[in-house]
Structures are given as C-alpha cells and as structure tokens.
Amino acid sequence: MAETKITAPAGTPFIDIEREFDAPRRLVFKAYIEPALIKQWLGPRRYEMVIERWDDHGYRYLHRDDRGHEFGFRGAFHAPMTLDGGTQTFEFEGAPGHISLDSLVLEDRGDRTLARTHSVFQSVEDRDAMIQAGMSGGVIEGYERLDETLAALAAPVSA
C-alpha cells in the first residue's frame, strides 16, 4: 500500500498532500469527477456519504454517521477538472467562513498516478484547526478506499 504524505510546515497557512496510486491517470481522474465513484472513497468508512449537488460549478455533500448526525461540506470549482487536475474551494459547514483553496495535480506516471494537493487556508490558525480536527486520518482512510475503488475499476469484466 502506498504512503500518503501530509506536510504542514510550522507557521505556514497550507497543507500539502501527496499520494501515488497504482492506476493510470484516466482512472484516477474518473474517480475524482464522477459522483457515484466519489461516494465510494471520499472520507472515512464510518460515514455514509450523501451528495446533494455535484456539477461543473460546485458541490455540497454530507457525511452521516450511524446515529444520524450529519456533517456538511461545500465548495466551488474554479474551472472544469481536467486530466491534469483542478482547483476548488472547500468549506466544512461546522466552521462556516473558514474556506481553503485546494489545487489538485494528477501527474501521469504510466500505469501509476501521483496526486498532489496543495490547500491554502486563510490563516495558520485555520490550517492548525483542520489538522487538530483529525483531517489526516480522514485523508489517509479516504485514499485507502480510493485504492479499492481504482482496483475495482481496473478489474477485467468477465463475460
């Protein structure tokens, strides 16, 4: 299993995430743009994901736990996502007004893809609050789930 590298240098308002996937870029791209696939991997397993909106302009989704608690997330896409990546805003509705700007780069490595995300927060305090809220665990688990989703997409279809 590949390692998810998360770096957040002290005193800076950003987080960098890097992960290599054992799948060609076209499949990783597909998993990032198709709502049915996004539901399979984005976030921790313990939450059901409900996508309320996902279009060219933006998104809103909920993570729901087994007790019915809901956690909302929303953002805007700043251009259509391409095979190379994309840029979006991200906001956890539990901390309204604390918005990050996230840039994703999907680097083609033949049968593998390197995904790099650079998230810029409005302040170091906002960035630190995201880390303290357990963001890294959710990212790591989500990427493990993405590995599973990509393996299923790449599996040959039997007749």
Residue 142 falls within a domain, yes or no? Answer: no
76 pLDDT above the threshold of 80: yes
Predicted pLDDT of residue 15: 97
Q: In terms of residue numbers, what domain contains 81?
A: 5-123
Residue 146 falls within a domain, yes or no? Answer: no
CA–CA gap between residue 1 and residue 144 (Å, rounded): 8
pTM comes to 0.92
Residue 135 falls within a domain, yes or no? Answer: no
The domain that holds 66 is classified in CATH as: 3.30.530.20
Q: Please tell me the total count of domains within the chain.
A: 1
Residue 139 falls within a domain, yes or no? Answer: no
User: Over the chain, what is the mean pLDDT?
Assistant: 94
Residue 141 falls within a domain, yes or no? Answer: no
Residue 143 falls within a domain, yes or no? Answer: no
Residue 148 falls within a domain, yes or no? Answer: no
Question: For the CA atoms of 103, 137, 144, 69, what is the dihedral angle to 10 degrees?
Answer: -90
